[in-house]
Amino acid sequence: MKIVLLLICSTYLCAQVEANDYQQYDGFVIDSVIIENKNIYDLSEDKFDNFLFKTANKLHLKTKKNIIRQELLLFSGDNFDSRLALETERNLRQNLIIYDAYLLIKKNSDNKLVIRVVTVDQWSFIGSFNFKREGNLNSFNVLVEERNFLGLNKFLSLNYFSESIEKDYINLTFLEKRLFYQPLRFLWFYSNSRTNQTNQVIVSHPYYNLLQSYSYSFNFGFSETITKQYYDSLEIAEAKINSDYFGFGFGYRFGSYDKKMKISGVYDYRNNKVIEQNVMQGFNDSIEIFQDSIIHRFGFGVSFNTYNFMKLQQVDGYGYVEDFNIGYQASLFLFRKYDSDFEQVDENEISMVAGFSGFRENNLYSLVMNNSVWLRNGKKIRNYSKVKLSWYNINLDYVTFVFRGRYDYNWSINNSDNLILSGISNLRGYPKYYKTGNKKIVLNHETRFFTGLEILSVNLGVALFTDIGNVWKCGEKVSMSDFKSNIGVGLRFYPERVSNNSVVRMDFSYSKEFDWSVSINSNHYFDAL
């Protein structure tokens, strides 16, 4: 998703200058489009002129030119459109496993355009042993993954997990983004996890570009899940449920290039069978008792989105460019569940989303609000709401200031605790199930320093952080002293030539309740927007 730009100019100005450079060619006829697919490392640069990087280039199979050509929106004989030029670059970064993508344009003697599409590959094979510590629990996984098999943009993955409180399990994934070179996406996923055993297939025609007006998808599969319920941080019930399911969906959108309305519809069938269910003594009246069921679920929705993409640096990444859509979003979806004979409405759901994001004076910010209500026989049985605020300041080349605030409300008629204050994604250094309730506030801050140090194409960063949060029950009085917090420092390793989206994170946090603890993972504790 990234293009390397000169750090000496601001990211905002760079994005605008590039767009203006392309606009000077608008309307000219395209004579030819040439694809130049480069290897991972430019061996003409001194830092890459050694045995390690030469060997990596020799072992790596470059992305095939016909795979790159599938993502192009500009063709010989067309009139040049700067919007499609920028979208072509963006699609290459998003849809292919590459480090960089850009266009080089010049006029020939006939005053027509010769466009050179340049891509720079990433190292696509990953074999790793990863150790993770989150929520004061240790886990590790062994990953074997090829993200660009034979240069054909096919994804294969085998992931073995070992966790402190769960049995070992594996995940298998195969993804074909353009099945038989057609605009069809095929995904197969298998997991034998104790808590979420899954075998699923999805075939879809997603939105590949902004010119596309329709999409559709089909899915079917099997799952065996374990659902847990909590009260006062105690696990009071557990149910194992087997499910067979299939479904399909469609979408049709219309409007201008950068402002679109969309109409969507879905149908889901699910056959649920309760294999076993255990309830702590004394809580039978306080939980939702699961029962065998056959459900038909229909959904219909409308949405509005604006599309104004910007390329920014040092948001979640290091030296590459990240694409962000700046604008507005709003949607309304209605769902209705029927029983097996379509004779009785089992449940209605209304879901709404509204949000916006912006970029001003090197500040990236967004606010998104979600609200979903479930009704049965005209009576509300559940309500889930979420408000998320994000802010990134990238005014300085060597540091990024990050803030995320989030409020969740999750109420159900049986008064079970549906929210968990956790060390997994709320408060570093706290247990996985620290406290439960129905309302939750979490505030996270990070100051990310970019040191400029690079070792074998891995960039080093340092972060200072603090996390604050609390969860409580409906009707419960809350004071500032109830909020829990930590402070800490961490290291960041950005292996950009392996994956633009990955970062190895090692955080050391201190809290009053748990003293010092370490949090290790292969991604940010929270991501942009």
Q: Please report which confidence band the pLDDT of residue 19 belongs to, taking 50, 70 and 90 as the band edges.
A: very low
User: How much is the pLDDT for 10?
Assistant: 35
> Tell me: the pLDDT tens digits for 30-56?
999 999 999 999 999 888 889 999 999
**CB-based burial, 450-469: b 16+ in 10 Å, e otherwise:** beeeeeebebbbebebbbbb
> Tell me: the pLDDT tens digits for 312-335?
888 988 878 788 999 999 999 999
* pTM of the shown model: 0.83
Q: Which amino acid is at 117?
A: V
User: How much is the pLDDT for 135?
Assistant: 56
**Among candidate residues 35, 87, 126, the one with its CA nearest the CA of residue 211:** 87
Torsion of the alpha carbons at 445, 447, 448 and 453, rounded to the nearest 10: -150
**Among candidate residues 429, 346, 339, the one with its CA nearest the CA of residue 381:** 346
* Over residues 436-461, mean pLDDT: 93
User: How much is the pLDDT for 270?
Assistant: 94
User: How much is the pLDDT for 341?
Assistant: 82
Q: Is the pLDDT of residue 130 over 80?
A: no
- The overall average pLDDT reported for the chain is 88
> Tell me: the pLDDT tens digits for 336-376?
999 888 877 779 999 999 999 999 999 999 999 999 999 99
**Among candidate residues 304, 360, 359, the one with its CA nearest the CA of residue 328:** 304
Residue found under tokens 């003409």: 44
**Among candidate residues 494, 483, 484, 525, the one with its CA nearest the CA of residue 508:** 525
The distance of Cα 154 from the centroid of its chain, to the nearest Å, equals 19
Instruction: Give me the architecture of the 11-121 domain, per CATH.
Output: Roll (3.10)
Q: How far apart are CA 158 and CA 128, in angstroms?
A: 11
DSSP letters, 309-346, are EEEEESSSSSSSEEEEE-SEEEEEEEEEEE-TTS-SEE
Domain boundaries along the sequence of the chain: 11-121, 128-206, 217-307
Residues 6+ positions from 324 with CB-CB distance below 8 Å = 309, 310, 312, 315, 357, 359, 364, 528, 529
Q: Is the pLDDT of residue 269 over 90?
A: yes
**Among candidate residues 501, 500, 503, the one with its CA nearest the CA of residue 522:** 503
Q: How far apart are CA 429 and CA 134, in angstroms?
A: 7
